[in-house]
Structures are given as C-alpha cells and as structure tokens.
Amino acid sequence: MENASQEERAEAIKAFESTIRKSENALANMAEKGASTTLVKKRLHALYVGLAVLETAWNQKPHHYTQKDLAEARHVLTGLFPSLESSYGKSKSGSPQKTLLERRMKALELAVQAINDLANK
C-alpha cells in the first residue's frame, strides 16, 4: 500500500472519483425511469468506502465506516473485477477505454488491499 507512487495514488483517487460520478449519474437516471436501483446503490456505497479507505491510508483522513461496511465493500469491489477484465480484454490496445479500465482496475486493487490492511490491524 505504502509503496504506491504519488502518480499511482493520484490516478487511483481520480479513477474512484470518476467512477463515483458515473455511478451517481446512472443512479439518478435509473431512479427517474423507475428502474431498480439496489445494485447501483450497493456499488456506489462500496466505491465511497474504497475512496475513503485510500484517503485514510495515504492522506490520514479519518473514515466513519464499520468493519461490516469494509467487509461488504471488499466483497462488492472484488465482484467488479470479472466485468472490468472482460471489458479490458475486448478493448483496443492503446485506446482511451483500455487506459481508463487499467486505471480503474488498479484503483480497485489498491482499495481492496487497503481494506485488507485495515481489517488486519
């Protein structure tokens, strides 16, 4: 966790912020249309937890999440990997989409690692 470079840390934070914005927009659109929002809410909460944990690890910002929140977030974030990896495999080499997915996967890996580190303290 501590061996992530400043650039990796900045990219991870930006990737989380971007993913959160995208999820918030999706949630608003789904709610407008009357679609079920349970899954998006669950993922959004996990993203908030992941970002908070990274900021705790790197910037010593306190977070207010419980051990249960951390465990659930780890489970949800880990569950996102298969679809990200699938999209990554289908994206064209050197494309902005592939770069975005690389950053998003790295950010999720770092967040899961940070959650594991907190759980083991």
* CATH of the structural domain 6-119, one choice from 1.10.150, 2.30.29, 1.20.1440, 3.50.50: 1.20.1440
SS (H, E, C) 10-72: HHHHHHHHHHHHHHHHHHHHHHHHCCCCHHHHHHHHHHHHHHHHHHHHHHCCCCCCCHHHHHH
Contact 67, 116 (CB under 8 A): no
Confidence of residue 3 (pLDDT cuts 50, 70, 90): confident
Supply 24's token pair: 């918030």
- Each domain of the chain, given as residue ranges in start order, spans 6-119
Name the DSSP class of 1.
Answer: -
Which pLDDT tens digit goes with each residue over 76-88?
999 999 999 999 9
Question: What is the value of pTM for the model shown?
Answer: 0.93
